[in-house]
Amino acid sequence: MGRAPCCSKVGLQRGPWTAIEDTLLIDYIRAHGQGNWRYLPKKAGLLRCGKSCRLRWMNYLRPDIKRGNFTADEDDLIIRLRSLLGNRWSLIAGRLPGRTDNEIKNYWNCHLSKRSKHMGKTPEVPSTINNKNCKIYKPKPFRLTSVSIITRNHSADSSISGPNSGTATAQEDKGSLASKEAPGVPWPQAGSAGDAGGVLVDNNEHDIGSEPSSQYDPKPTNDNKFEKLYQEYLQLLMADDNVAVESLSA
């Protein structure tokens, strides 16, 4: 499945972005919304490849990005989530409003990984996590299709993924900014599109969920069953500190 590079590097600007470039990108996205990254730079008058534009927007220019130091709570959450999810930074970012996967990844590499070592905790991901009646297998990341968007709060119409969800599908991205950041839909009330992962099994090791068959399996075999299990998984993830504690001490 060979394909050409995302852009011809000839004549394209690289390296740090200038204020003028930032302004061009912001203005364009404000007017036309994000998506179509391949053609966006041309239309916006930028000598950048689409990939570079997307990265700049996602990691730096987006209005909802939170700046400043990580709080102790965020530190704790990152450590716990990483112990559960591994280096799935986009999934982790989906649970930290205003933080980007890149930022969290950098923060982990610079601060938290060292701290974890100092504390004598092994940040490595356990193969399984025991909890009461079920285990959660280390989830494999997969991109979520529009079919499998499942919200954290069960609301029927809240299938709007947070703007922080780096795993939104191309289809979702083609929606306007306005639709994603609509008033009254405060991020992050809905589950991040990318954070649907994990497989639940019962104590007899029966797979009661749907083991993704490939690294990015987007299609649960049974939507209702999957949704129920996924909600359980989310509850465990969000509410049960023991999960993180056990996983760290495993």
Partner DNA sequence: AACACTTTCAACCGCTCTGAT
Partner DNA sequence: AATCAGAGCGGTTGAAAGTGT
Looking at beta carbons only, is 148 or 247 nearer to DNA? 148
Does residue number 55 form part of the binding site for DNA (CB under 7 A)?
Answer: yes
Taken in order 24, 30, 32, 34, the sign of the CA dihedral is positive
Any contact of residue 82 with DNA (CB under 7 A)?
Answer: no
Site map (CB under 7 A) of DNA, residues 7-36, x = contact: --x----xxxx-----------------xx
The nearest distance, CB 85 to DNA, in angstroms, is: 8
- Return the number of the residue (17 or 134) whose C-beta is nearest DNA: 17
Smaller CB separation from DNA, 133 or 214: 214
Pick the closer one to DNA by CB: 102 or 189: 102
Closest C-alpha among 88, 102, 80 to residue 144: 88
Would you count residue 87 as binding DNA (CB under 7 A)? Answer: yes
Backbone angles phi, psi at 53, to 5 degrees: -65, -45
Residue 4 interacts with DNA (CB under 7 A)?
Answer: yes
Judged by beta carbon, residue 165 or residue 247, the one nearer DNA is 165
What would the two tokens of residue 26 be?
A: 């912001």
User: How far from the centroid of its chain's Cα atoms is residue 77's Cα?
Assistant: 14
Residue 174 touching DNA (CB under 7 A): yes
Segment contacting DNA by CB under 7 A, of 25-33, 83-91, 126-134, 228-236: 83-91
How many other β-carbons are positioned within 10 Å of the β-carbon of residue 56? 19
Q: Is residue 187 within the footprint of DNA (CB under 7 A)?
A: no
The structure tokens listed for 249 are: 């001490």
Give least dist CB 177 to DNA, A: 12
C-alpha dist (Å) from residue 12 to 38, 61, 166, 235: 13, 20, 25, 46
Q: Does 39 bind DNA (CB under 7 A)?
A: yes
Centroid of chain to Cα 52: 19
- Binding piece for DNA, criterion CB under 7 A, among 5-13, 72-80, 122-130, 232-240: 5-13
Token readout for 235 is: 């509850």
Are the C-beta atoms of residues 93 and 104 closer than 8 Å to each other?
yes
Strand partners, 15: none
Q: Based on CB atoms, which residue is closest to DNA, 109 or 242? A: 109
Q: Positive or negative, the Cα torsion across 163, 37, 170, 5?
A: negative
Phi, psi of 19 (to 5 degrees): -60, -35
Residues that bind DNA (CB under 7 A): 1-6, 9, 14-17, 35-39, 48, 50-52, 54-56, 59-60, 87-91, 101-103, 105-107, 109-111, 141-143, 145-146, 165-171, 173-174, 194, 214-219
